[in-house]
Amino acid sequence: MVIDGYDDDCVVAGEELLGLPGFWAAYLLMLCRRDEERGEPSPEWFGADAADVDAASDALSDAGRWPALRIPFADGHTAVVLGRNFEDDPGTEYFVVHPEWNRPGHLATIDGHDSGPGLAWRELLHIARTVAAGAPGTHDAHARLLLLLPALGDSELPGDAVGVVGRALAWAGVPVADSTWLAAHLLDHTWFAPATWSLPGSSPLTGGEDPYEGILVCDGTLSPRHGMRLAQGISREHSDRLARALGTWTGA
| pLDDT at 44 > cutoff 80 | yes
What is the rounded average pLDDT of the residues 159-166?
A: 98
β 66-72/11-13 pair status? parallel
What confidence score (pLDDT) does residue 205 get? 38
Count of alpha carbons within 13 angstroms of residue 1, beta-carbon side: 6
What confidence score (pLDDT) does residue 202 get? 45
What is the rounded average pLDDT of the residues 158-186?
A: 97
What is the rounded average pLDDT of the residues 149-156?
A: 97
- Give the least confident one: 40-54, 69-83, 158-172, 217-231: 217-231
Give 60's pLDDT tier (boundaries 50, 70, 90).
Answer: very high
Residues in contact with 113: Cβ distance below 8 Å, sequence separation at least 6, in sequence order = none
What confidence score (pLDDT) does residue 206 get? 35
Q: Which amino acid is at 77?
A: H
What is the rounded average pLDDT of the residues 49-65?
A: 96
Residue 4: which of 101, 119, 87, 73 has the closest Cα?
101
Q: What percent of the chain has pLDDT over 70?
A: 91
Other beta carbons less than 10 A from residue 130's beta carbon: 18
Contact 166, 180 (CB under 8 A): yes
